[in-house]
Amino acid sequence: MPPSGSMNFLIVDSETAARKGLERAISSLLPSFQAVSTDSVTSAREAILMGGIDAVFLDPDSPCGKGLEFIGELRSLDMPVVVVSSREDFAVAAFDFEAFDYLLKPISPERLMRAIAKVRRHAKKPAESLVVFSDQHHCWPVPLIDVIMAEGEGSYVMIHARGRKPILVCRTLKEVEILLGDQDYVRVNRRQVIRLQAILSIKRGKGSGFSAEVEGCGMVTFSRRQAQGFKQRFGV
């Protein structure tokens, strides 16, 4: 059983290189997540019946020709499905069958992270909301509600959370932003993402700018672009 906050994915693709490539991509981005793969709808059904699968990444262009129908079958079980294909013409049918997302091959890491974030938001219950930060050697499961701020610098991000020392992870700020989601977090500038509920006060500056006092992290300054978006979102 994977640690709390992680997920088990099943990859269904008739192309061996594509299956293994997606397995490696998921393992590299989220080491605590597990990905297994199969080359057919039939063996995928067997794996799902055994239990423990949280979401399916499916290339519907399978030799048996039943890939699109399989999406509907999975969704009837409330199983999240992300379609992965080199063809654009499956998109309309895939969404008709209520696929969660549609990824065109080759898949960028950022696009893959965004799809996984959608699946996680569907799967997790509020009381169990954990986010797992990791590098090549360690994993840190942190309750989402405790993550106050993420500060990025190049390929590294410093995570500030309640009740623990800052965590340095080898990720871009964009990847972490996608992992946190946009419901409770907001980008304030090029380097910082903060939790909305951690804002203690807002101080207006010159012109249209302003700063926010963040719990345990002091003052942060909104960029002009992010300040405008924040004002439109919250009417401040």
pLDDT bracket for residue 196 (50, 70, 90): very high
Domains of the chain: which residue ranges? 8-124, 129-234
What mean pLDDT, rounded, does the chain reach? 86
- The predicted pLDDT at position 236 comes to 61
Q: Is pLDDT at 55 greater than 80 in this prediction?
A: yes
pLDDT at position 127? 41
What is the structure's pLDDT at 134? 73
Residues 6+ apart with CB under 8 A from 113: 29, 175, 178, 179
pLDDT at 66: 72
**The predicted structure's pLDDT at residue 67:** 80
How much is the average pLDDT of 220-224?
Answer: 92
Q: Residue 4: which pLDDT band, with cuts at 50, 70 and 90?
A: very low
pLDDT band (50, 70, 90) for residue 125: very low
pLDDT at position 126 = 46
Nearest to 7 by CA among 118, 171, 167: 118
Task: Using the CB atoms, write b or e for 173-198: b if 16+ within 10 Å.
Answer: bbbbbbbbeeeebbbbbeebbbbeeb
Question: Higher confidence at residue 184 or residue 161?
Answer: 161
Q: Which CATH number fits domain 129-234: 2.60.40.1110, 2.70.50.60, 2.40.10.340, 2.40.50.1020?
A: 2.40.50.1020
Tens-place pLDDT, residues 129-141: 667 777 667 778 8
Looking at the predicted structure, is the pLDDT value of residue 64 above 90? no
* Percent of the chain clearing pLDDT 90 (strictly above): 42
pLDDT at residue 1 is higher than 70 = no
Higher pLDDT, 175 or 158: 158
Q: Give the domain 8-124 fold.
A: Rossmann fold (3.40.50)
Would the pLDDT of 16 be above 90? yes
Global pTM value: 0.57
Query: Would you call 84 helix, strand, or coil by DSSP?
Result: strand
pLDDT for the residue 159:
95
